[in-house]
Amino acid sequence: MTRQNLIVTCANADYFPYVQSCIRSLRDRLTQSNYHLAFLDTGCDSEQRNWLAAHVDQIESPSQHFELPTTPPNFLLGLLARPFLRDYFPGFRNYLWVDADAWVQDSTAVELLLAASESSRGLAIVPEVDRANRMQFGGLPKYWQTTFNWYGRHFGEEIASKLYSLPMLNAGVFALHESAPHWRKWSEAIRRAVQNHCTTMTDQIALNVTVYLLDCFHATELLPAWCNWTCHMGFPRWDVRLERFVETYMPHREIGILHVTTRDKSMIREVATMDGTKTRVHAFFPPHLVTG
């Protein structure tokens, strides 16, 4: 059976505990016959590569695709290589990227991402907008100043003024069809951006420019927050009965992909339960209540 869907993640030695969670969740939650799991190695050690060889189908190391003023760290090469996934892993119909610090709780999110990519023959991605997003309740002016600076440093103030208040599309989880118009335009946007500035935000800012300004919005499906729940905007609740992370507000749908985008990557977190109390939970796969 031909595997039409490729799932890719990426990490270095420092992020290896998180990417193990990601890979284990993918193997546990998905039917292995309908996807190929690949890994971009940005600096894992030999023991870690041995573990990867037993758990993924293909391992590659990213190349430097853009001229940069200084030699970038390997982890940055992994982010900048994403418009070239078709070159690293040719022959697939849909390419799903999942960041190392994200993991799958409900496979419905993966199915929806891939279905949306296939249907639009484009990009399926989640905007950082939700009723539980704490930025929506008084934090937008400060956040908009931050996004204006991100766009301005990479593309100049004219583009920043057009895009700073639009929903940020989070590039930590996305699906992209093999024939999507985004691939080439995204790489061109990055090539332009890195002439001015280059950070871990560069590829995401360039992807937002691609969608909003480079005639790709029509081929972009915007999916709900439970398909890529970005925790820097607020952790979801913990359902003690189901032992699952769920949306903050009713109907408390189960989170599909939890993306621990907070700077604090602690495995154990204090989170709110359904009744509003707090409890300690292991926030990576497999999630579970922590006692003692």
Kindly report whether the peptide bond that precedes residue 90 is cis, defined as omega within 30 degrees of 0.
Answer: no
- Residue 101 falls within a domain, yes or no? yes
Model confidence at 291, pLDDT cuts 50, 70, 90, reads confident
Domain boundary among 177, 199, 226: 226
Residue 69 has pLDDT above 80, yes or no: no
How does the average pLDDT of the chain come out, rounded?
Answer: 95
Residues 108 and 245 in one domain: no
- Residue 136 falls within a domain, yes or no? no
Residues 74 and 207 in one domain: yes
Query: What local confidence, expressed as pLDDT, does residue 3 receive?
Result: 62
Residues 19 and 77 in one domain: yes
Residue 282 has pLDDT above 90, yes or no: yes
Residues 60 and 73 in one domain: yes
Residue 2 has pLDDT above 60, yes or no: no
Residue 277 has pLDDT above 70, yes or no: yes
Query: What local confidence, expressed as pLDDT, does residue 247 receive?
Result: 97
Residue 18 has pLDDT above 50, yes or no: yes
Distance, CA of 219 to CA of 126 (rounded, Å): 14
Residues 209 and 239 in one domain: no
Residues 174 and 281 in one domain: no
Residues 218 and 234 in one domain: no
Q: Give the CATH number for residue 180.
A: 3.90.550.10
Q: Looking at residues 163-191, what average pLDDT do you find?
A: 98
Residues 72 and 186 in one domain: yes
Residues 221 and 239 in one domain: no
- Residue 152 falls within a domain, yes or no? no
Domain boundary among 207, 226, 245: 226
Model confidence at 70, pLDDT cuts 50, 70, 90, reads confident
3-state SS, one letter per residue, for the chain: CCCCEEEEEEECCCCHHHHHHHHHHHHHHCCHHHEEEEEEECCCCHHHHHHHHHHCCEEECCCCCCCCCCCCCHHHHHHHCHHHHHHHCCCCCEEEEECCCEEECCCHHHHHHHHHHHHHCCEEEEECCCCCCHHHCCCHHHHHHHHHHHHHHHHCHHHHHHHCCCCCEEEEEEEEECCCCHHHHHHHHHHHHCCCCCCCCHHHHHHHHHHHHCCCHHHEEECCHHHCEEHHHCCCEEECCCCEEECCCCCCCECCEEECCCCCCCCEEEEEECCCCEEEEECCCCCEECCC
Model confidence at 172, pLDDT cuts 50, 70, 90, reads very high
If one counts the domains in the chain, the total is: 2
Residue 155 has pLDDT above 80, yes or no: yes
- Residue 155 falls within a domain, yes or no? no
- Residue 146 falls within a domain, yes or no? no
Residues 64 and 96 in one domain: yes
Domain boundary among 180, 196, 226: 226
- Residue 268 falls within a domain, yes or no? yes
Residue 33 has pLDDT above 90, yes or no: no
- Residue 265 falls within a domain, yes or no? yes
Residues 103 and 179 in one domain: yes
- Residue 141 falls within a domain, yes or no? no
Residue 1 has pLDDT above 50, yes or no: no
Domain that holds residue 207: 5-130+167-226
Residues 195 and 266 in one domain: no
Encode pLDDT of 235-266 as tens digits.
999 999 999 999 999 999 999 999 999 999 99
Residue 212 has pLDDT above 70, yes or no: yes
Q: Looking at residues 156-181, what average pLDDT do you find?
A: 98
